[in-house]
Amino acid sequence: MDCNAHLIAAGELINIREMSERSSVPASTLRYYEKLGLITSERETSGSHRRYSESTFHRIIYITLAQRAGFNLEEIAEQLAMLPDIHPVPPKVWAPLRKKWEKRIDQNIAELKQLKIDLRRCARNASR
């Protein structure tokens, strides 16, 4: 996913359907993220429709990428708590998170390489 794709103009608020389309995250998942406190929406009244801002869009993209990197939602919540509500994130804030991400990605790569070795070994043993 391109981090800059489908950007929302500063000050613009979009509805849940549009946020779902722009972020490629189902509306049900957006509601779940909000229930967990990972994202917020703005509403004029308690019964009115959810409206999302640009900063929420960036949080959703962060969540999506973090999940792809192998982080669970609890870990992502901890990371989001460290992030300021600005975009782009300042390099001094992003640097420790980037290192954590790279470590996790390297672990995932190592696990996948080992899985490939194990799969070949099983296939070889099955053909005997």
The tens digit of pLDDT for each residue in 85-126 reads 888 889 999 999 999 999 999 999 999 999 999 999 999 888
3-state secondary structure of 17: helix
The pTM is what?
Answer: 0.82
User: Given this model, what pLDDT does residue 40 score?
Assistant: 93
- Cross-strand bridge partners of residue 14: 52
> Which tens digits make up the pLDDT trace of 29-53?
999 999 999 999 987 776 778 999 9
Rounded to whole angstroms, the Cα distance separating 25 from 20 reads 5
Band (pLDDT 50/70/90 cuts) for residue 84 is: confident
**Cis link prior to 91 (omega < 30° from 0)?**
no
DSSP three-state, residue 11:
coil
At residue 21, does pLDDT exceed 60? Answer: yes
Please name the residue that has the structure tokens 């300042």. Answer: 90
Residues 6+ positions from 76 with CB-CB distance below 8 Å: 38, 62, 63, 66, 67
Residue indicated by tokens 């490939």: 116
